[in-house]
Chains A and B, each alone.
Chain A
Amino acid sequence: MVRGLLRHPLFIIGFIIVFGLLTASFIHATVYDGYIPSLEDQLTKKDDSLLKEGSPPYNPEVMPPMGSDLLGKNLFVFLISGAKYTIGIALIVGFLRVVISLFAGIFYGNYLMRVNKYVASIIDAFHFIPVSLLAYLILNEVLVGKGTLTITFEYSFPERVIFELVILTIIAIPTTSLLIGNQTNLIMNKEFITCVRTLGAGKIRILRKHVIPHLMPKLVINYLEQIVQVLILLVHLGLFHLMFGGTRVVSTSILGDSPPVYDSLTGEWSGIIGESYRQLFLYPWMALFPLMMFAIVILAFNFMQEGVKDALTNPKYRIKGRKKKRRHNQPRQQVSITDESFQAASGNQSM
């Protein structure tokens, strides 16, 4: 499957986009030391060419290619540096979701199928409450730090990050586990499993040698799907001013009448959206470019997913000669048959 995938154009395009963004982001962090061109930076160099254009944010013509944010930072470089966080979070949360759901699903598919109808209906409740709403209500208390001059959080930064990762993961566990459980059950009811069982294979062996290999392609597709879900969830949470790792809510006036300024703690993409979407009409590039980056990454993962699906069903990408090749590479053992070998074989049998 893997080698077939590497010949699939859709998969390759998707993979190159994601991989390219990640590499660019890491190169930016290591080689360029995370340097983001900004107004402040120009001012320290006594260069005031930007100031002639007025105060930030600058539009894409003044600061190519994507304009600047509210503080005059170059948006494109900022987005590249944030790519590793956003894609990283999606990859990690998606992976956790699938792995945990795999264990839960296998358990469910093996032991709890009798109550499947009821459990499935209860879990159906997830379809009537938007996930973003649930996630927002749970995370809001922990992630938001308030204040006018000094902003205080109840929990430390690592605690908040871990809590957010955990919540983003478990919020999808019930639905994903149910899905994997049903798929496991489908495989367990296949005829060959009965054969294997009559041949004397134990539960663990059936799982390891038969169920998981059959589940694997579905898990890969599911993983890519979950990544997309996480990215969309991040967009929504960003819109509601919940940024990854915490939001600093800075009240601009002591009376609290004017709307507070929301500040992200990491350079993660969704953090930019919430603040800039409010000013969509004034500075459209500030909201639309981060959203477009999200769209590109989601598209890339969807391409990969479609590539996997196609590579599994389309015979063009199936590799046939693999077994033969391996046989050619291995030197054949010379076996000479003598009377003794017959005796040895029959002797073994009688034992």
Chain B
Amino acid sequence: MNHILVRISSKFIFIAIGIILLGSLTQLFSGIHIDFSAYTASVAEVIKGLLHPAEITYIVKGREYNIFPDLVDNWFYTMRLLFLSLLIALTACTTLTYLTMLLPQKVINVIKFILFSLKSLPDLLVAGILQMGVIWFYQQTEILIFQVANFGDNHSYALPLTALAILPTVLLYRIMILDVETELQQPYVELARSKGMKKRRILFVHIFRNVLISTFLHSKYLMWFLLSNLLVIEYIFSINGMMRFLLFMGSPAILTVGSLMVFVPVFLFFSIFQMMLEKYSAQKVEL
């Protein structure tokens, strides 16, 4: 059970089971009553459907459509948004943390407090302020920075990506500063400093390597946060993405298939990261 591939694949299977169980959760309640037999029947049906995913259908205005290949386009768009915003958040918070740590401690404390307050903003408020800000800027200068609304098949990226990346960046930024601060108290930092190394060098070469691991450990929480953020962003920008599709067409089979389609790439991404980290740091990293 100790080999990393065994651990990862067993985890994969169990999470998949969990998603199948959760996907039918809507059938557990018929009205306000609990209906166990309908739930188990639905689970069985979903498993049957998973074996023939091409036959799963959804209904719009009385007409039935197959979810494939319609869903693939939505899925691609959502995945691009998800991973791009994750990438933006990671790059932004790493650079910002590096720059912040070079500032005097008093300023760092102020920044920490501001980040803590920003963390409390609901994602919807951030998106709303951003939308209003773009409009206001347009009214003042007649320059449209972002496409504000989405029309038809025209995929817009800039505004949803910004709206999606702001809060995760704030969250990660704060976590990273705290991680760096605990790391700064390690004896090796003192040794490096006594040897006459510059703070910039210690930060960049030594501390960041170690901090990246602990930051990575927070990423599960971050992913969950991003997904629920994504739901809101897709809804308010009327993006033809996966989450919005699940919201309107969320039958058990579609919800399960959709969630699995989100889960598999995300899980693979993190597993690769985990494998790299384990090799790199020679210790067990559990997500």
A50-58, A132-140, A258-266 - interface stretch: A132-140
What 1/0 flags go to A220-258 for Cβ under 8 Å of B?
000000001001100110011000000000000000000
Q: Please, which residue of chain A has its CB at the minimum distance from the CB of B33?
A: A163
Contact among A128, A231, A298, A299 with B263 in the assembled complex (CB-CB below 8 Å): A128
Residues from chain B with Cβ under 8 Å of A126 in the complex: 18, 22, 224
Q: Does B202 contact A (CB under 8 A)?
A: no
Q: Does B141 contact A (CB under 8 A)?
A: no
Contact among A122, A124, A127, A239 with B232 in the assembled complex (CB-CB below 8 Å): A239
How far, in Å, is B120 (CB) from chain A's closest CB? Answer: 4
Q: Does A287 contact B (CB under 8 A)?
A: yes
Contact among A127, A131, A228, A292 with B125 in the assembled complex (CB-CB below 8 Å): A292
Q: How large is the interface on B (under 10, 10 to 19, 20 to 34, 35 or more residues)?
A: 35 or more
A121–B231 alpha-carbon span in the complex (Å): 23
How far, in Å, is B128 (CB) from chain A's closest CB? Answer: 6
Q: Does A48 contact B (CB under 8 A)?
A: no
Residues from chain A with Cβ under 8 Å of B224 in the complex: 126-128, 130
Q: Please, which residue of chain B has its CB at the minimum distance from the CB of A131?
A: B228
Knowing A125-B21, A137-B255, A239-B235, the reply to whether A294 touches B125 (Cβ < 8 A) is yes
How far, in Å, is B26 (CB) from chain A's closest CB? Answer: 5
Which one of B122, B131, B220 has the highest number of Cβ atoms from chain A below 10 Å of its Cβ? B122
Residues from chain B with Cβ under 8 Å of A141 in the complex: 29, 31
How far, in Å, is B71 (CB) from chain A's closest CB? Answer: 16
Residues from chain B with Cβ under 8 Å of A128 in the complex: 15, 19, 223-224, 227, 259, 262-263, 266
Q: Does B25 contact A (CB under 8 A)?
A: yes
B26 near A277 with CB under 8 A, answer: no
Q: Please, which residue of chain B has its CB at the minimum distance from the CB of A297?
A: B120
Can you show 26 pairs from A to B with CB atoms below 8 A apart?
A: A118-B14, A121-B11, A122-B17, A122-B21, A124-B11, A124-B15, A124-B18, A125-B22, A126-B22, A129-B23, A131-B228, A133-B247, A138-B29, A142-B32, A160-B32, A162-B32, A163-B32, A228-B120, A239-B236, A280-B128, A281-B131, A284-B128, A288-B129, A288-B132, A295-B121, A295-B125
Nearest 6 CB-CB pairings of A with B? A125-B18, A121-B14, A130-B228, A122-B18, A299-B120, A291-B125
Residues of chain A whose beta carbon lies under 8 Å from any beta carbon of chain B: 118, 121-134, 136-138, 141-142, 154-155, 159-160, 162-163, 167, 228, 231-232, 235-236, 239-240, 273, 277, 280-281, 284, 287-288, 291-292, 294-295, 298-299, 302, 306
